[in-house]
Amino acid sequence: MTSTTTALRRVGVLGLGIMGSAMTANLIRGGFEVSGYDPVAAARRQLTADGGRALPDAASVIRAADVLLLSLPGERVLDDLVADILAAGTPGLVVIETSTLAVAAKQRAHDALRARDIVLLDCPISGTGAQAVTRDLAVYASGDAAAIAAVRPVLDAFARATHVIGGFGKGMHMKLMANLLVSIHNLSTAEALLLGQRMGIDLDTAIAVLSDGAGGSRMLEVRGPLMSHRTWDQATMKVSTWQKDIALIVAALAEGRVPAPLFNAAIPIYNAAMGMGLGDADTAAVFHVLERMSSHEPSARSE
């Protein structure tokens, strides 16, 4: 693991959900002094258990940090935190924004902070919550090149790879491309595995064999087992959260006037998962949606 530098030793994390908590644990293992805040008490307790310092509010984290890491659920939270950062008056601070949000919202935050000599980097993450635990993440970094270089030890502590994409916002552009593919690959994994189940193929065997051939994908490797073992209740990306990401892709496609017949065909399946009450489940739950569509009752394996 890359050793920390004195100047960037204190990392503040705001947002300790599925991704934020996993990244925080790896930062602690990497030797950083980590403080954090999340409105959910259980998330703060987990931070303490991992060896970090849970603080009572976002402002306290901002004041205690050399570098901030944001992992947020929506634009409104980002707007609120920008106000907190500005109120703290910390010129020279670097803020690593990892959330999947509209580029316009991130740009608004970037411009407000830049006026006070604070650098916001657009660094969305590619990977699931389970991958975050094992440090199997890729960062799509965009923005000020010198700032990206300065915080590289922080990024290396929770990600296996950092790709510097270009100017601010290009990281999110790359993330939207990735998520479009994930939407389709996740659903095609469910289709293939349901077909295999109907043909009497053991699904764990199918995942291993298909992953070794031309039909393999990261979604088959990562979400295939959740489908095979019917453990989509162990969410690494909630269906409800994915709805936000889908909306961002839809907007980008419309702005670019890009036809997307496969992606558009996938959207109703994710919507159906929400309608079945699976909003808190992993997106692997599309397998169950397809079962319902075929009027097929789950096998005894689900017991």
pLDDT digits (tens, 9 = 90+) for 31-54: 999 999 999 999 999 999 999 999
Rg value, the chain, Cα: 20
Q: Which among 84, 95, 273, 299 has a CA at the least distance from the CA of 187?
A: 273
CB 188 within 8 A of CB 216: no
Residue 37, Cβ neighbours under 10 Å: how many?
Answer: 23
Q: What tokens were used for 120?
A: 């916001």
For residues 2-17, average pLDDT: 76
- pLDDT, residue 55, reads 98
pTM for this model (two decimals): 0.90
CB 67 within 8 A of CB 8: yes
Domains of the chain as residue ranges with CATH: 6-168 (3.40.50.720), 173-302 (1.10.1040.10)
- pLDDT, residue 3, reads 40
Measured CA to CA in angstroms, residue 254 lies from 132, 143, 177, 250 at distances of 31, 25, 14, 6
- pLDDT, residue 89, reads 82
CB 30 within 8 A of CB 54: no
Q: What tokens were used for 172?
A: 């999110």
For residues 243-262, average pLDDT: 97
Average pLDDT across the chain, whole number: 94
Question: DSSP secondary structure string, 135-189?
Answer: T--EEEEES-HHHHHHTHHHHHHH-SEEEEEESTTHHHHHHHHHHHHHHHHHHHH
> 3-state DSSP call for residue 246?
helix
Any idea what the Cα angle at residue 181 is, between residues 230 and 234, rounded to 5°?
A: 25
Model confidence band, residue 301 (pLDDT cutoffs 50, 70, 90): very low
Query: Are β-strands 138-142 and 125-126 bridged in parallel, bridged antiparallel, or unpaired?
Result: antiparallel
Q: What tokens were used for 192?
A: 């293939």
What does the pLDDT look like over 118-168, one tens digit per residue?
Answer: 999 999 999 999 999 999 999 999 999 999 999 999 999 999 999 999 999
